[in-house]
Homo-oligomer: A and B are copies of this chain.
C-alpha cells in the first residue's frame, strides 16, 4: 500500500508561495485585522491552492486550544444519551468544535479519569453528566477548564448547568398516577450517585411510598422491580428513574404474571424514541433531548468566551431547566 511521503505543507510554504511572511498568512487565516483585503484574498487563495491545513499541534502549543470539547456520560448505550449527544454534536459542529466522548458507567474513578483525559487532551471545555463525583470535585475541575454540568444541579453558582426539570416532571408523573386512582405507588430509583432530584420529588409527591435503588439499566429495572414487588406486593403503580428501568420493570411484572397496566401501571422518564412502540406503549416524562444537547453546548460556549474575555464581572453562567411534560400512553 502506497503510503504518502507525508510532506506537510506548512505556513512557511504558503508564505513563500504568496510572497508574504508567515505572520501575514496567520493574519489572513485568523482574521485579526492588520492586513489589507487584497493580500488577504491572495493568501487565502494560495492556502486553498496548496491545500494547506494548519497543524493543530503547533497552533495548540501557542494558543492552548484545540477546537475540541469533552462529553462525559455514563453509558452511550443507554438510548437517552445518544439523543442528547446528537444535539451536542450538531451544535458543537456549528461552533467549530469536535467532540470527544467518554463513558464512565457512573463510576467515580472513571469520571475522574475521563476528566483527566480530557484535560490532558487539550479540550477547551467539558460537558458532563456526572453521577458520582462530588460537588467540590466539579468545582475544582471548573477552575481548570470551562464546564457545564448536565442533568444535575450546579455544584456552585458560578458553574453553568442545564437540566431537565426533574422536579415538575416527576411531580407530573406522580400526580397522573394518583389521578388514575392509584394509592400504592413505588419508585425504581436509578440515581446511584449524588443527585437525587427525582427521588426527592417523588418522596414529596407520594409521601411514604417505597423506593428501591438500582443501576439505571434495563436489568437494573427488572431487579429493582422484583425487589420492590417482593417487599411491597400491594403496589399498583411504578415510577421509574428512566425508560430503560421502566422497560425492565415491565419485564419483571410480566414474569410475575401481572398485567401492565391492568395489575400495575408503569411510568418512565426520558421518552425514548421507541417508547411509543413498546408493549405496552410507555407513559413517560418527555424532555427535548436534542435541545438539551444543543443548549449544553451553547452554555459551554458562553463560559468559554467569558473566560477568554478575562472573566471578571462577566454575566453569570447559564442555569437552564428544560421543560418536562408528561406523555400519557398505555402503560400507566
Bound complex: CA of A118 vs CA of B99, how far in Å? 11
**Cβ–Cβ < 8 Å partners of A118 in chain B:** 98
Q: Does A21 contact B (CB under 8 A)?
A: no
Chain B's closest residue to A218 (CB) is B273
Is A280's beta carbon under 8 Å from chain B?
Answer: yes
Minimum C-beta distance from A258 to chain B (A): 16
Contacts A4-B143, A143-B3, A278-B274 known; A100 to B103 CB distance under 8 Å?
A: no
Stretch among A41-49, A78-86, A125-133, A319-327 lining the B interface? A78-86
Residue from the set A4, A66, A67 with the largest chain B CB neighbour count within 10 Å? A66
Closest B residue to A8 by beta carbon equals B64
Number of copies: 2
Choose, from A51-59, A169-177, A201-209, A223-231, the stretch at the interface.
A51-59
Question: Residue-by-residue, is A70-105 near B (CB-CB < 8 Å gives 1, otherwise 0)?
Answer: 000001111101110110011001000011111100
A262 at the interface (CB under 8 A from B): no
Q: Is the CB of A77 within 8 A of B278?
A: no
A19 at the interface (CB under 8 A from B): no
Q: Which residues of A contact B (CB under 8 A)?
A: 1-4, 6, 53-58, 60-61, 64, 66-68, 75-79, 81-83, 85-86, 89-90, 93, 98-103, 117-122, 142-144, 158-159, 218, 247, 250-251, 272-274, 277-281, 307, 311
